[in-house]
Structure 1
Amino acid sequence: MSRIIVFGGHGRIALLLAPLLVARGDEVTAVIRNPQHIADVEATGARPLVADIESLDVAGIADLIRDHDAVVWSAGAGGGDAQRTYAVDRDAAIRSMDAAEVAGVRRYVMVSWIGSTADHGVPESDGFFAYADAKWAADEHLRSTDLDGTILGPGTLTFDDPTGRIVLDPDGKGEVSRADVAAVIAAALVEPSTFGRTIRFGNGAADAALPIAEALS
């Protein structure tokens, strides 16, 4: 049994992740900003924790993380406003990594995106640029820490049913169901071979996809 704290606990992926973790015996703390989402989180078996990660400093976030065994960052501003995107997807994410080190919680899984590279190619005039830039900065910071970090880069997210299978480094956008992303997070948390890796994935063609545990090993 592990104690896992999930930032962005009311996100679509997090709401699919929590039941998977609870079913295998983990204790899940889901950090949410809106108290109106408490019931939704409780329905997954997770413990809701209301906190505004945008306003918390490193010490404040460390207080949330302390006494857990692993951190999952699945929070995001949701696009639209560049200033808030940087505040959440970059700045708060980076503070959470520093906080994990302060709290002595080494395991950290970042949910990023498949295109998070230095040469992501998104022009500054594009409304998506702030997200691409913020995620890249956060990913780079995780690589610079001493945490047992894993960066997961799913492709374009869909609402398709889970397949339980993925393709690593797929061509193109690598569409993948949110349910399979949740399953990849759950599997990565307990797979030491994912420590220090950036894993880009999609569902891919059925004949090329591998079971998630096999793909990550």
Structure 2
Amino acid sequence: MSRTIVFGGHGRIALLLTPLLVARGDEVTSVIRNPDHASDVEAAGATALVADVENMNVDAIAEIVSGHDAVVWSAGAGGGSPERTYAVDRDAAQRSMDAAVRAGVQRYVMVSWLGSKADHGVPEDDSFFAYADAKWAADEHLRGTGLDSTILGPGALTLDDPTSKIQIDPDGRGSVSRADVAAVIAASLIEPCTIGQTIRFGNGEDGSAVPIADALAC
């Protein structure tokens, strides 16, 4: 049994992830900001923890991370102002990494995006720039922490049914169902070969995808 804390616990991916972890005997703590969402995450099988990580310091986050075996960061500002995007997707994410170090929780899985690179190519006057810039900064911070980290870079998210297959380093938008992203997170948590890796993926086309376990194996 593993104890995993999921930030952004009421997000669509997190709500799909939780039952997968619970089904294999894991305990899940879902961090949510809105107490009205507690019943949803609890219905998925998690223990709800109401906390506003956007306004918590490293010590406070370390306190709620402590006692878990792994951290999954699936939180985000969800668009809106660049200021809040940086506050959540970069700053709060980085504090959660530092908190994991402080709490001695070595395993950390970041849900990033396919294009998270230094040369992501998003112009500064594009409304998407703040997200691209914030995610890259968060990913780079994670790489420097010494945590047993995995950075997952899914392509454009869809509501399609799961295929249980992915293609690594897809061309173009790399569309992928949220259900398959959840399955990749779950598999990554127990696949040692993913530690220290940045894994960019989509669902693939024309038979190019392979089963998730095979795609993540050494």
Name the TM-score, length of structure 1 as normaliser: 0.99
Match of 1:106?
106
Give the secondary-structure state (helix, strand or coil) at the position aligned to 1:31: strand
Match of 1:81?
81
> % of aligned pairs identical?
75
Which structure 1 segments of 5+ residues have no match? Answer: none
Q: Aligned partner of 1:190: which letter?
A: I
1:21-68 alpha-carbon deviations (Å, 9 max, x no partner): 000000000000000001101100000000000110000000010000
Match of 2:22?
22
Provide the aligned C-alpha RMSD in A.
Answer: 0.5
**Deviation of residue 155 (structure 1)?**
0.2
Match of 1:54?
54
The reply on whether 1:3 has 2:9 as its aligned counterpart is no
Give the secondary-structure state (helix, strand or coil) at the position aligned to 2:28: strand
Q: Aligned partner of 2:100: which letter?
A: A
Q: Aligned partners of 2:176 and 2:206: how far apart in 1?
A: 12
Q: Aligned partner of 2:81: which letter?
A: D
Match of 1:115?
115
Q: Aligned runs of 1:179-198 on 2, under 5 Å?
A: 179-198=179-198
Match of 1:157?
157
Q: Aligned partners of 2:132 and 2:3: how far apart in 1?
A: 30
CA contact (8 A) 1:11 1:75 kept: yes
Match of 1:41?
41
**Deviation of residue 80 (structure 1)?**
1.7
Q: Aligned partner of 2:123: which letter?
A: P
Q: Aligned partners of 1:75 and 1:13: how far apart in 2?
A: 10
CA contact (8 A) 1:184 1:212 kept: yes
Q: Aligned partners of 1:83 and 1:206: how far apart in 2?
A: 41
**Deviation of residue 206 (structure 1)?**
4.8
Greater than 2 Å deviation, 4+ residue runs = none
CA contact (8 A) 1:18 1:44 kept: yes
**Deviation of residue 207 (structure 1)?**
1.2
Match of 1:31?
31
Give the secondary-structure state (helix, strand or coil) at the position aligned to 1:54: helix
Q: Aligned partners of 1:146 and 1:113: how far apart in 2?
A: 21
**Deviation of residue 82 (structure 1)?**
0.4
Q: Aligned partner of 2:185: which letter?
A: I
Q: Aligned runs of 1:171-210 on 2, under 5 Å?
A: 171-210=171-210
1:68-97 alpha-carbon deviations (Å, 9 max, x no partner): 000000000001210000000000000000
Match of 2:212?
212
Give the secondary-structure state (helix, strand or coil) at the position aligned to 1:167: strand
Give the secondary-structure state (helix, strand or coil) at the position aligned to 2:29: strand
Q: Aligned partners of 2:102 and 2:132: how far apart in 1?
A: 27
Q: Aligned partner of 2:17: which letter?
A: L
Match of 2:66?
66
**Deviation of residue 166 (structure 1)?**
0.2
Give the secondary-structure state (helix, strand or coil) at the position aligned to 2:55: coil
Match of 2:131?
131
Q: Aligned partners of 2:160 and 2:22: how far apart in 1?
A: 22
